[in-house]
Structure 1
């Protein structure tokens, strides 16, 4: 029973993180400014070998001029498996009150990622509730 409670707590925290990130993204969508930013560098973070394949993760840094005239250089928060070409223009959203708060302007990072995180938390909670109530044993038999 102790393990189930711990998993429910962890799953609930994961759900809360998903909701927090979604609400933060919605706030950025409402008050943020959309702009094209230029890729200025790529930070290699990790490499993982899966089934003999090496998967590399790169975090691009972008530069843009905020509406107050300040030149901002920030790293994107979601990595990609290839180096983005230096000089490539990508769409971002930034917070005019804090121009260092940026997000790549695409549907996946703004909407899908938070809901995937939230859904993982929901699945963990549902699984544990079923486990505690013996529903999984009934389904297996």
Structure 2
């Protein structure tokens, strides 16, 4: 039977992971927003990756675009989707001109809002576990 301490430790670990992932996504997105170039990409294919035994997973679009230096880049995006993106669909992407394989969909949701949600959830979890540890709140009974 799990104890309250196990639950608090789980929340601290989960919150830490959310904070780290959120900070990394924020840093990467900020770098692309400040230094990136935009391009129109075409979804070349979708790579399906399973994460659960039941076959659940996400489709990771592989996009192809032309850089400002007239180089063709074909790269899998780091964020998966379900349902998959339609092959041949055009997407606006942002890439790092120093490393054009670092590419993301040019979206305020992906570059700013999603990382911020991870950070907020991590901070909230840390706060909740701190209040629980200090005995200020009694969420786990």
Structures share a fold, TM > 0.5?
A: yes
What is the RMSD of the two structures over their aligned residues, measured on CA atoms?
Answer: 2.8
Give ranges in structure 2 of 5+ residues lacking alignment: none
CA, structure 1 residues 109+126, in 2 after alignment: closer, same or farther (shift >3 Å)?
A: same
Report the equivalent of 1:105: 106
SS of 2:137's partner is helix
What is the TM-score of this pair, normalised by structure 2?
0.82
Question: Residue 122 of structure 1 corresponds to which residue in structure 2?
Answer: 123
The residue aligned with 1:41 is 45
Q: Secondary structure at 2:113's aligned position in 1?
A: helix
Q: Which runs of 5+ in 1 are unaligned?
A: none
2:16 maps to 12
Following TM superposition, by how much is the alpha carbon of 1:13 offset from its aligned partner in structure 2, in angstroms? Answer: 4.3
CA 1:8–1:83: 2 relative to 1, 3 Å: closer
How far is the alpha carbon of 1:92 from its aligned partner? Answer: 0.3
C-alpha distance in structure 1 between counterparts of 2:19 and 2:85, whole Å? 31
SS of the residue 1:136 aligns to: coil
4+ runs of 1 displaced by more than 6 Å?
47-50
Provide the residue aligned with 1:67 in structure 2: 68
TM-score, length basis structure 1: 0.82
